[in-house]
Amino acid sequence: MRTSQYLLSTQKETPAEAEIVSHQLMLRAGMIRKLASGLYTWLPTGLKVLNKVAAIVREEMDRAGGVEVLMPVVQPADLWEESGRWDEYGPELLRVKDRHKRDFVLGPTHEEVITSLVRNEINSYKQLPVNLYQVQTKFRDEVRPRFGVMRGREFTMKDAYSFHLTDDCLGSTYQKMYDAYTRMFERMGLEFRAVIADSGAIGGSVSHEFHVLADSGEDAIAFSSGGNFAANVEMAAVPAPAPQQPSGTASSFVSNAGGVEAVCESEGIAHDRAVKLVVVSTEDDQGEKGHAVLVLRRDHTLNQVKAEKLDNVALPLQIASDDAAAEILGMPLNFVNPLDCPLPVIVDHSAAALADFVCGGGEVNSVQINANWPQAITSVDIRNAQAGDPSPDGDGELTIKRGIEVGHIFQLGDKYSKAMNCGVLNESGKHETLTMGCYGIGVSRIVAAAIEQNHDKFGVIWPDPIAPFKVALIPMNMHKSQRIKDAAEAIYAQLTELGIEVLFDDRKERPGVMFNDMELIGIPHSIVVGERNLDNQQVEYKNRRSGEKQLLDVEAVAAFVQQV
Amino acid sequence: MRTSQYLLSTQKETPAEAEIVSHQLMLRAGMIRKLASGLYTWLPTGLKVLNKVAAIVREEMDRAGGVEVLMPVVQPADLWEESGRWDEYGPELLRVKDRHKRDFVLGPTHEEVITSLVRNEINSYKQLPVNLYQVQTKFRDEVRPRFGVMRGREFTMKDAYSFHLTDDCLGSTYQKMYDAYTRMFERMGLEFRAVIADSGAIGGSVSHEFHVLADSGEDAIAFSSGGNFAANVEMAAVPAPAPQQPSGTASSFVSNAGGVEAVCESEGIAHDRAVKLVVVSTEDDQGEKGHAVLVLRRDHTLNQVKAEKLDNVALPLQIASDDAAAEILGMPLNFVNPLDCPLPVIVDHSAAALADFVCGGGEVNSVQINANWPQAITSVDIRNAQAGDPSPDGDGELTIKRGIEVGHIFQLGDKYSKAMNCGVLNESGKHETLTMGCYGIGVSRIVAAAIEQNHDKFGVIWPDPIAPFKVALIPMNMHKSQRIKDAAEAIYAQLTELGIEVLFDDRKERPGVMFNDMELIGIPHSIVVGERNLDNQQVEYKNRRSGEKQLLDVEAVAAFVQQV
């Protein structure tokens, strides 16, 4: 491709609207343009990357036994009523009326459509299992679209749905998808991790997220140093530590205290030897509402996903504000004594393991020091794992890294197939409801995540497999020198002939402008054709990632490029 | 692909909902499924064809200098207000409000978005011309969606838009697109014609439609036997024929006549020697409304597109009913005499060329025979061309065929660029409005059109380049014979290794079921593995189109298939 026939659209200035580096660089490198909030046009350079990502996704889906279909963007509301999601789904679901005033939605996901398809098309266990996928435009009417295509409203997703007679069979396809996702991200040249995840609102039991690692990632991921454990921090179990032994020092109360923190400071006691309290709402089986107090070590943070799994905790989790908690307990939370509390007390493992700890004294301005739990205290896991915690699999310590979720696989079970009556006749001729898996990949999001992971101050640094072009061909002052032009044209012809994707910068621009643009776009390999090197029948090669330069004989360029 | 791992979904019965053969066969062959009125899911077999069509379209667009982008499906209303189409476009334009009550549309086409993009990205004549295209989902809220994907609401379209400083430059890109379209349809193996078309509501001057020829086509196309002229019948000019010479027989009036037709019958006069009248509404420059009488030869039909181009004719064309015409003229139209008429009379060339013709007699129940026009009559071209007419280019006679419009290219001019202020600085630094071309292809419609052209009573007959699979591999009773199984598996492995797309029917079905399914799906080449032929180390090859069968040595199968 010649830049003169291309829509390059690079920008020097960082657009003010873009908060994160991938959004900035996608705008600056001419990959996307905003049409409206959360709606982006993919310019040629962006689309090339998007298409490469999609091609790898398709190849690995096919290899893993997936069969591609294409479902409409616009879906009839009646299917959503059948599944119950017409009412459940919030305003992210864009609802539309057609000219006949019938209700439709713009599909944020396709469980209903695929389940309706399969219940019509598949009647016998002999046709199972089946794993149908599509690469399609989705729409989610995010309340605050941001970060460019990282959290847009219209985006490209690969979504796959598998249908099975048994959970064993589902497990086997799930594993194939896990492996296929692993191969996809490996092939894209991305550093990523599969982590145990919460299946959340989608339902089902087993679920893994695939994260591209990047410091700017929204999610925290816990890894074991042993290498076999990885989970979203919200899902990383924290084993109960061995209980500390009380020193025997008698407990005492500090009066006129500012609070637990102030006492720790003044007494020189570390924060990991004090506790803090959180008040949450409860509702028991009889519908009786109330509150409970959660107790954590002062240096730990509450894990809301874990807390929501506690018995009788009201869902979604409702944490009382400081004022509300003070009203409920009759004093500021800071002075409430967990050893003598009018509400039920639920203690985190690590807080329960403490001896000689600091806590509220049970009346205003009172703090207890050298407190100890009664012998028989039971505890639960309700805190976030943090770096240095022992790995739940017993193999080393946890490290925390940031990740961007780009894939999510679920064992859905029968949530949709039951609601929508999707089943087949089994071997004995009996009707059985199917069990489902679903497997999503944010195709457009991968492009942004790849940039978050691969960039420097000059621009994007594409991994070769998803680069918009493999080679940037930069002739210096070609419009003044026939010799440069001839040499560049010859190299271009040669590389193109070999099927290598080259961006040939034939603009009448200063070399500096060309270098900057090609670095900004992030093309992995550059060939610079200049007068001085041509005197020796040579051109300069530069590697975008390493910055390494070397001279190549003109006739060796093609072979070299094919090989890198 | 093995059928056991595929979603075959063939149907024996013709679905009642499908009126045309492509719709019937797409449902029966398991290519599409209806989700709601005008909304279809593409099943694997259909999607494979759709993707092949799209791939050929993309390759030829790239070859012709097109640069691919991807614009959102959901478009902000303000751009449509700028172009004026927010008000102009009828209820086919699906309007949507997002969660913040802002107006959007589901794009039926992307002129506004691309013009907005280009006015932001392109500032200098140096960046021109540019030809941007996409393959994207479109939505048109048809009042009566029908014929499956032939006239659906959601469909896949390739739309391209070119931008130029001069009309010459536009003309050159237009020709490139014309050539690219020609190559695309040739490569797809379709019989098609490019025809001169009416640019209609989209505006602009020059325009061609590309039609896939099929007896069921909605459009009539006129071709010259000389081979150089082809136009949509609505656009085919009909030259004035040489005037007939009056025989000198005196004109006379038949009274108590039933009408022109009855007199022709009773007098044995051919219908091409009689005229008929049509009353249309008129409105002159001063806004004065009235009527005019159009006169045609009785065997000809009025061409509404041509009639709308007459001076003072009210738009859109309003033809008076028989009752209304009788009221306006004081007698039934059948008796009105065009030679003595109170309204302005506009005569078609062919009617004007008549001598000794039959027409109304000027009073009720009177018909004139051997009528002749006065010497100085002027005439116009307002009829549809028909088979046997001389070609407008003077080269032979016209033939009429039916066609399905699958592509349309326009020289749009400045309709959008002017309304939306899209221009660049020219060489002298002056701002100039750009001139545009637009080039559409109905990608999903091509799939249906190809079937309308290529089918028989057994099913689809795919041209090789867009077939879902090249080869159907049909082992007979494989589940009972290890020898058959081994031979089929070996052939499957061999062909797959060569990159040939094979559908291996490994179902436990009777051979008849398999043959029927493979014929229905329309796979061009079949290899049947059976006991008897295997005794001679042979298999049977069958060509779907010709029905020709031949025996192949097992070891020669791969070479044979590669070559056909």
Same domain? For A113 and A155 the reply is: yes
Structure tokens at B289: 């409304």
Please tell me whether residue B181 adopts helix, strand or coil conformation.
Answer: helix
Cβ of B137 and A73 within 8 Å?
Answer: yes
> For residues A485 and A6, what is the distance between their CA atoms, to the nearest angstrom?
19
Section A85-97 average pLDDT: 94
- The predicted model gives B17-21 an average pLDDT of 93
User: How many Å lie between the alpha carbon of B204 and the closest alpha carbon of chain A?
Assistant: 25
Say how far apart CA A486 and CA A488 lie, in whole Å: 6
Task: Please compute the mean of the pLDDT values over residues A519-534 and round it to a whole number.
Answer: 97
What's the number of domains chain B is made of?
3
| Shortest Cα distance, chain A CAs vs residue B490, angstroms | 20
Contact yes or no for B117 and A154 at CB 8 A: no
The answer to which of A153-167, A388-402, B141-155, B472-486 has the lowest mean pLDDT is A388-402
User: How far apart are alpha carbons A307 and B157 in whole angstroms?
Assistant: 50
Model confidence at A204: pLDDT above 70:
no
Q: Is the pLDDT of residue B227 over 80?
A: no
* Residue A12 placed within a domain: no
Task: Identify whether B256 is part of a domain.
Answer: yes
- What's the whole-number mean pLDDT along residues B500-510? 95
Same domain, B525 and B413: no
Give the end of a domain, one of A386, A417, A452. A452
Three-state secondary-structure class, residue B5: helix
Contact B42/A6, CB-based, under 8 Å? no
Same domain for A262 and A286, yes or no, is: yes
Residue B204 has pLDDT above 60, yes or no: no
Does position A202 have pLDDT exceeding 70, yes or no?
Answer: no
**pTM given for the model:** 0.89
Examine residue A197 and state whether it is found in any structural domain, yes or no: yes
Contacts of A309 (CB under 8 A, 6+ apart): none
Phi, psi of B279 (to 5 degrees): -100, 125
Backbone region of residue A504 per phi and psi (left: phi > 0; alpha: psi in -120 to 50; beta: other values): beta
Cα A442 from Cα A61, distance rounded (Å): 14
Distance CA B224, CA A108 (A): 52
3-state secondary structure of A399: strand
Minimal CA separation from A405 to chain B, in Å: 23
- In degrees and rounded to multiples of 5, residue A146 shows phi and psi of -160, 175
Is B139 found in the same domain as B100?
yes
B361 shares a domain with B271: yes
Average pLDDT (A252-258) is 89
Residues contacting residue A481 through CB under 8 Å, at least 6 positions apart: A531
Whole-number Å distance between alpha carbons of A150 and B180: 36
Task: Classify B309 in phi/psi space as left (phi over 0), alpha (psi -120 to 50) or beta.
Answer: alpha
The reply to whether A7 falls in a domain is no
B208 inside domain: yes
Q: What is the DSSP letter of A144?
A: S
Q: Is residue B395 part of a domain?
A: no
How buried is residue A362: exposed, middle or buried, by Cβ count under 10 Å (0-12/13-18/19+)? middle
For chain B, the average pLDDT equals 94
pLDDT tens column, A324-368: 999 999 999 999 999 999 999 999 999 999 999 999 999 999 999
Q: Cis ω on the peptide bond leading into residue B374 (within 30° of 0)?
A: no
Burial class (CB in 10 A: 0-12, 13-18, 19+), B418: middle
pLDDT of residue A232: 87
pLDDT, tens only, B108-118: 999 999 999 99
**Does the N-terminal peptide bond of residue B463 adopt cis geometry, omega within 30 degrees of 0?**
no
- Same-domain status, A219 and A258: no
The answer to the question of residue A242 being in a domain is: no
**In chain A, what residues touch B36 (CB-CB under 8 Å)?**
75-76, 104
Q: For chains A and B, what is the number of CB pairs under 8 angstroms?
A: 134
Look at residues A423, A452, A481 and tell me which one is the last residue of a structural domain.
A452
Distance between CA A524 and CA A547 in Å, rounded? 10
Q: Both B288 and B404 in a single domain?
A: no
Record: contact A9-B39, CB cut-off 8 A: no
B73 closest CB neighbour out of A7, A33, A154? A154
Give mean pLDDT, residues B50-56: 98
| pLDDT for the residue numbered A133 | 98
Task: Check pLDDT > 60 for residue A200.
Answer: no
With the C-alpha atoms ordered A208, A210, A213, A219, is the resulting torsion angle positive or negative?
negative
pLDDT for B201: 47
Q: What pLDDT was estimated at residue A55?
A: 98
The model's confidence at residue B199, banded by pLDDT at 50, 70 and 90, is low
Mutation choice for B interface testing from A5, A7, A8, A157 by most B CBs within 10 A: A7
Tokens representing B542? 């069958």
Distance CA B105, CA B74 (A): 6
Query: What band does A68 get if pLDDT is binned at 50, 70 and 90?
Result: very high
Do A484 and A447 share a structural domain? no
Give the pairing type, strands A39-42 and A471-475. unpaired
CB contact set of B555 (below 8 Å; sequence gap of 6+): B537
For A41, which of B33, B69, B96 is closest by C-beta distance? B69
- Looking at the fold, whether B278 and B364 belong to one and the same domain comes out as yes
**Tokens describing residue A363:** 């009346």
> Residue type for A524, please?
P
Verify that B196 and B277 share a domain, yes or no: no
Mean pLDDT, all residues of chain A: 94
Q: Report pLDDT digits (tens) over B301-324.
A: 999 999 999 999 998 899 999 999
Structure tokens at A505: 């910068």
CA A519/CA A513 separation, integer angstroms: 10
- CATH at A558: 3.40.50.800
Confidence of residue B226 (pLDDT cuts 50, 70, 90): confident
Q: What is the mean pLDDT of residues B462-479?
A: 97
Separation between Cα atoms, residue B556 and residue B558, nearest integer Å: 6
- Are residues A9 and B121, on separate chains, in Cβ contact within 8 Å? yes
Chain A residue numbers with beta carbons less than 8 Å from the beta carbon of B154 are 72-74
Q: Which of A354, A371, A388 is the last residue of a domain?
A: A371
For helices B21-28 and B443-453, the axis angle rounded to 10 degrees is 100
Integer angstrom CA distances of residue B176 from A396, A542, B64, B131: 65, 37, 6, 11
How far, in whole angstroms, is CA B223 from its chain's centroid?
A: 15
- CATH number of the domain at B272, please: 3.90.960.10
Q: How many of the other CB atoms lie within 10 Å of CB of B310?
A: 15
Residue-level pLDDT at A113? 98
- Whether residue B411 is contained in a domain is answered as yes
Task: Return all residues near A280 (Cβ < 8 A) that are at least 6 apart.
Answer: A291, A292, A294, A307, A313, A314, A317, A318, A319, A320
Determine the distance in angstroms separating the CA of A91 from the nearest CA of chain B, rounded to an integer.
Answer: 6
Domain that holds residue B77: 61-237+400-444
Say how many Å lie between the first and final Cα of chain B, rounded.
20
Are A84 and A206 found together in one domain?
yes
- Residues of chain A in contact with residue B26, where contact means CB-CB under 8 angstroms, are none
Give the CATH number of the domain where residue B120 resides. Answer: 3.30.930.10
Residues B430 and B476 occupy one common structural domain:
no
C-beta atoms of A76 and B35 within 8 A: yes
